Chains A and B, each alone.
Chain A
Amino acid sequence: MEWLIQLRQIKRQWIYLCLAVLVSIPLFLKIRLPFFVGPQAKGLYEAVKNLPEDKVVLLAMDWGAATKGESMWQAQAIIEHLFKEKKPFVILGYDIQGPQLSEELAEKLAKKYHKEYGEDWFNVGFITGGLPLLLRMAKNFQATFKQDSVERKPLSALPLARKIRDINDIGLIINVTGSGTYGDWITIQTTYKVPLAVACTAVITPDLYPFLDSKQLIGMLSGLKGAAEYEALIKGSHRETTLKMMMSQSMAHLLIIILIVLANIGLYMERRRRRSG
């Protein structure tokens, strides 16, 4: 009986070791658990696919190194899909690191899909000013962002930038966020009725479901799972990576469930011993 009670006091170092070993297994071996693509990811996928030809996608990249494990895979899948579907896009972001990290992803994928900077995509970079800035952008894009962040050219020198005068030229906004920055974009969506999708970290997901219900969001990618779902939809070259990572996550969840059960058995046995005196 005593060993069952000890289940409540497993040293955390052993738990971390078990976690590291279990999470590593699917990365070495080919393990496949059932994997479904949810309607939220499909919503974003359809919106990108059905985007009118004369419209541009606005990628608001509000993520950084702290949430790279989830946000980078989402950003990569979205950029790859935009290049594949020949949908031009603009990168900008409230987070200092987000636009720069996304620019690196876009440059790598642009080579693969033979896309030109300034014609198929460009980067405005880090922006600050919150909602007032976005409201100004909605009325006059050129006056709000005077130059791009990569070549430091005036926007009038970039063929794609010349096409964007105001919010009416934006066909879809995708906010990849590691924090709660989606609020400003929701205000823009409600004010100007531009379709909006959010790719967020799993922590934020529960907050976003009401926005999906009220149709303020047309789609959502939730954490690493969202990235894997999206890659499954576009059948990108990175699909295998995110799927393997998802299997690792399932193993970790399994361990957490087992630990919760073991700790509860320990608690039950301890109470029983106390009652019996």
Chain B
Amino acid sequence: MVEVIVTWLAAIATLGIYSILYKENPIYRFFEHLFIGLGLGWTIFEVWKDILQPKWWTPMVVEGKWYWIFAFVIGSLYYFIFSPRFAWMARLVISTLMGLSAGLVFKVTAAIYIPQIEASFRPITFVPSIARGLNNLLSTIILLCVILYFLFTISHEKQPLAGASKLGRWFIMLGLGAMFGSTVMARLSLFIDRLTFLLHDWLKVIKF
């Protein structure tokens, strides 16, 4: 019985949200607010259940690790950002975290980009396979053209730089086209999932 009620509520909420496709209306507004409110409520509950209670509240109150109160005091300093007189106290926490983040960025940048730069150096030989050689050649040409497009310290007005730079722009546009195609695919997947829910779980007119 509970499952039937939940399915009906989900179906009504889905149709309510999709009513925006016809035109802006109060039903859509209601379900939009409901969705955001539910999401926020869930977030608060989960943050308490999985983070604050086991890692902060229980050690401090139950296990007698009283010094965890300092985490609350230091965290609360953030709110002094709203006071012009005491904003310097918020900056203490913000600058500490910014320093930490800056240190991590070095690690992340090296971890992400160095292997990619390494992988872009490809041998253009047609042994053992012609296909691989052509693939590597094409990859190298595209890489050089795209880099050239972003190289602003030399003039792009004269050939052959102008041609290569223009080619680089076309390659970027092809890449962006592929990205847009993927975006469309992602949005459609979400719609198909909701349609499957309506036809299969709610109306039960299709079977898998």
Contact = CB atoms under 8 A, between A and B. Distances in A.
A199 B32 CA distance: 28
Interface string A223-266: 11100000000000010110011001100110010000000000
Contact of B50 (A65, A126, A214, A225): A126
A65 B194 CA distance: 11
A23 B192 contact: yes
B141 interface: no
Interface string B138-178: 00000000000000000000000000000000000001001
Given A203-B183, A252-B188, A96 B47 contact: yes
A190 B112 contact: yes
Nearest to B184: A256
B192 A187 contact: no
Interface stretch (B1-9, B68-76, B103-111, B126-134): B103-111
A131 B189 contact: no
A240 B50 contact: no
A222 B181 CA distance: 13
Given A69-B194, A211-B116, A24 B178 contact: no
Contacts of A224: 185, 189, 192-193
A175 interface: no
A16 interface: yes
A128 B195 contact: no
Interface string A144-185: 001101001000000000000000000000000000000110
A215 interface: yes
Given A131-B108, A146-B55, A96 B46 contact: yes
A241 B193 CA distance: 10
B80 to A, nearest CB: 23
Nearest to B115: A214
B183 A202 contact: yes
Contacts of A28: 205-206
B191 A69 contact: yes
Given A69-B193, A126-B50, A215-B119, A223 B185 contact: yes
B112 A125 contact: no
Contacts of B42: 96-97
Interface residues of A, number: 63
Nearest to A243: B208
B193 A245 contact: yes
A215 B46 CA distance: 35
Interface string A191-215: 1000000000111111000110111
B9 to A, nearest CB: 14
Interface string B111-129: 1101110110000000000
A221 to B, nearest CB: 12
B208 A100 contact: no
Contact of A202 (B49, B55, B118, B185): B185
22 contacts: A12-B21, A13-B21, A23-B192, A27-B200, A28-B206, A67-B190, A70-B189, A70-B193, A96-B42, A96-B47, A97-B42, A125-B50, A126-B46, A126-B49, A128-B47, A131-B107, A190-B111, A190-B114, A191-B111, A210-B119, A224-B192, A252-B188
Given A24-B195, A190-B110, 16 more contacts: A12-B21, A20-B195, A27-B200, A69-B192, A72-B193, A100-B46, A126-B49, A127-B50, A128-B51, A131-B108, A183-B112, A216-B112, A223-B185, A223-B186, A224-B192, A245-B196
Those 9 A-B pairs whose CB atoms lie nearest each other, nearest first: A69-B193, A214-B119, A190-B111, A69-B190, A202-B186, A126-B50, A224-B189, A202-B185, A187-B111
